[in-house]
């Protein structure tokens, strides 16, 4: 009996948390700053603009890190191939 009650409570708690988490994530505004939506951007509060620009900066930094890592990896592969060709040529 206790197990059934706990299972029901767990089930309803899970449903409540899922719906609550969706509401929290939907409430986050992410408006990229560009020429088309300048009015929307300016209607935001100063703190909202700061948080959005900070998040954009973090995303841009992450993309640059990934790209730089890919470039380094590709450079290592190319330099290995060139060194193998030089060894075979001698």
Residue 63 has pLDDT above 90, yes or no: yes
Stronger pLDDT, 26 or 75, i.e. the higher one = 75
Instruction: Give the separation between CA 39 and CA 73, rounded to whole angstroms.
Output: 42
Residue 23 has pLDDT above 70, yes or no: no
In this prediction, residue 22 carries a pLDDT of 56
Strand, coil or helix: 2: helix
Instruction: Give the separation between CA 80 and CA 90, rounded to whole angstroms.
Output: 16
Look at the chain and count its residues. 90
Stronger pLDDT, 68 or 5, i.e. the higher one = 68
In this prediction, residue 8 carries a pLDDT of 87
Q: Given pLDDT bands bounded at 50, 70 and 90, which one contains residue 21?
A: low
In this prediction, residue 90 carries a pLDDT of 58
Domain regions of the chain by residue span: 1-29, 31-90
Q: Given pLDDT bands bounded at 50, 70 and 90, which one contains residue 29?
A: low
């Amino acid at each position: 009996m206790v197990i059934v009650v706990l299972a029901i409570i767990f089930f309803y708690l899970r449903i409540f948390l899922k719906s609550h988490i969706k509401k929290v994530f939907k409430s986050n505004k992410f408006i990229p700053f560009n020429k088309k939506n300048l009015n929307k951007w300016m209607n935001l509060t100063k703190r909202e603009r700061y948080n959005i620009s900070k998040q954009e900066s973090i995303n841009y930094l992450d993309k640059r890190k990934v790209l730089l890592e890919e470039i380094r990896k590709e450079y290592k592969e190319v330099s290995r191939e060139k060194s193998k060709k030089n060894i075979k040529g001698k």
